[in-house]
Every structure is written in structure tokens, then in C-alpha cells.
Amino acid sequence: MEFVYPDFKGKNPGHYSAAVKVGGLMYVSGQLSINPDTRQVCQGDIREHT
């Protein structure tokens, strides 16, 4: 089991890892589209953020 803490601008404010790798699987925690500068949740749906 490997806990994943990616190095990106918006650090995780919670007490959990962004993902956990177990064997060939990766389990991710709830993901939101957050502006790293303002820490605010972005508006729109998945199509607008990918």
C-alpha cells in the first residue's frame, strides 16, 4: 500500500492522502475542481475542467 501526496500548488488541507495505490489499483479521494490561487470550488461540470 502506497499513500500518494502529489506535489502541486494547492496543498491538501485535509488529513488524508489524495490517493492510495494497492497493487495495480489506485483509490482516489473525493475530487473537486479547486482554483489553487483562491482555494474556491470552480463552477461548471467535468467537461469544462478537462
Within 8 A by CB and 6+ apart from 32, the residues are 41
pLDDT tens figures, 1-47: 998 877 765 565 666 677 899 999 999 877 777 777 887 888 888 78
Report the pLDDT value the prediction gives residue 26, as an integer from 0 to 100: 92
Report the pLDDT value the prediction gives residue 6, as an integer from 0 to 100: 73
Number of structural domains (the chain) is 1
Higher local confidence (pLDDT), 49 or 24: 24
Contact, 21 vs 7, CB < 8 A? Answer: no
Report the pLDDT value the prediction gives residue 42, as an integer from 0 to 100: 84
State the number of CA atoms in the 13 A half-sphere of 13 facing the CB: 7
* Locus of grid cell 475542481: 33
Instruction: Specify which residues 19 forms β-bridges with.
Output: 4, 28
Single pTM value for the model:
0.47
By residue range, what is the domain housing residue 33? 1-50
* Locus of grid cell 463552477: 43
